[in-house]
């Protein structure tokens, strides 16, 4: 399958390249999501059989001050991709976020649960979902959460760095979600793109998050243990760690439909953590 991937340096894009080395990955220089028309032109030029959008504005706090720009990249660009895919009859897999929900309650959010983002980043991602759906191409919107890998910038790499420098850290313990390995997201995107090409009736919104659900503090403790770091993690409430963008307290995602329709189970983040930390340490040498 000739596959076009928007993104090159992000965590999921790098994982896709490892799993599908023949895929065409487009860096920003070749398809800037700030120019949605350029994204449509790139699809016409490559003539793929499926498209995965693994590029996005991911700076959550920065989006608060730059919501218009974030909405072009996370909202208008995916919509332009989807319209082009609809025109040539190929599927689009769009990666979205748990931030489209308001984070209330303690039950996992199902794909059909009403959305209600509480920050600019979440609103921009929701705009992308709506644009993809409106285009009427074969599509899969894959909402995920708390992505980590040995690449880029993420919580695991930050904890490994700080844990090696400090004897103790305070980490929020009232935000709950599913840490998700980037490679699991990449593998899911590839599976979904292939199945959608053969069966467009599988179009819809799906969730993928690692299991089991945990707080950021619990995740941090697991990181310290896997990295053999003596740093002590103390849990604190979100109100003691203010950020420009409010964070949802509940990021749990109901992933049952993804397994039922595509045969993709929730990944065990504990088993992924050790190998990823080994890669981080190897790269740092």
User: Is residue 88 classed as helix, strand or coil in its secondary structure?
Assistant: helix
Q: How far is CA 118 from the centre of its chain?
A: 18
Q: How far apart are CA 138 and CA 203, in angstroms?
A: 6
Query: Which residue among 121, 139, 206, 241 is the active-site one?
Result: 121
Q: Which is nearest to 266 in space by CA: 191, 213, 194?
A: 213
Please name the residues in contact with 127: beta carbons below 8 A apart, sequence gap of 6 or more. Answer: 71, 74, 75, 76, 79
Q: Which is nearest to 180 in space by CA: 144, 155, 152?
A: 144
Please name the residues in contact with 275: beta carbons below 8 A apart, sequence gap of 6 or more. Answer: none
Instruction: Identify the burial level of 157 via C-beta atoms within 10 angstroms of its C-beta, where 0-12 means exposed, 13-18 middle and 19 or more buried.
Output: buried
Quote the longest CA-to-CA distance of the chain: 57
Q: Is 139 a catalytic residue?
A: no
Number of other residues whose CB lies within 10 A of the CB of residue 169: 19
Q: Where are the alpha helices (DSSP H) in the chain?
A: 11-19, 36-46, 60-65, 67-71, 77-88, 120-135, 155-165, 182-198, 216-226, 256-262, 269-284
The string of DSSP letters for 91-126 reads -EEEEEEGGGS---SSSPBPTTSPP--SSHHHHHHH
Catalytic residue positions?
121
């Amino acid at each position: 399958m000739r596959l076009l991937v928007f993104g090159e340096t992000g965590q999921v894009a790098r994982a896709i390249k490892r799993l599908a080395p023949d895929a065409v990955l487009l860096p920003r220089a070749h398809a800037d999501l700030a120019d949605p028309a350029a994204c449509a032109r790139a699809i016409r030029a490559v003539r793929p059989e499926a498209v995965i959008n693994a590029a996005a504005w991911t700076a959550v706090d920065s989006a608060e001050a730059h919501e218009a720009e974030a909405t072009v990249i996370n909202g208008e660009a995916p919509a332009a991709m989807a319209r082009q895919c609809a025109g040539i009859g190929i599927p689009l897999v769009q990666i979205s976020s748990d931030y489209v929900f308001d984070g209330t309650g303690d039950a996992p959010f199902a794909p059909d649960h009403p959305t209600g983002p509480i920050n600019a980043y979440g609103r921009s991602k929701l705009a992308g979902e709506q644009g993809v759906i409106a285009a009427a191409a074969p599509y899969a919107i894959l909402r995920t959460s708390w992505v980590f890998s040995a690449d880029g910038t993420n919580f695991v790499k930050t904890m490994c760095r700080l844990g090696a420098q400090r004897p103790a850290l305070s980490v929020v313990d009232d935000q709950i979600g599913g840490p998700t390995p980037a490679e699991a997201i990449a593998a899911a995107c590839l599976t979904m793109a292939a199945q959608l090409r053969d069966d467009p009736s599988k179009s819809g919104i799906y969730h993928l998050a690692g299991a089991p659900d945990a707080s950021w503090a619990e995740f941090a403790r697991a990181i310290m243990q896997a990295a053999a770091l003596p740093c002590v993690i103390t849990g604190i409430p979100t109100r003691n760690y203010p950020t420009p963008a409010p964070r949802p307290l509940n990021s749990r995602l109901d992933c049952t439909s993804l397994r039922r329709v595509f045969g993709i189970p929730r990944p065990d983040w504990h088993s992924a953590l050790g190998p990823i930390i080994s890669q981080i340490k190897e790269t740092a040498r």
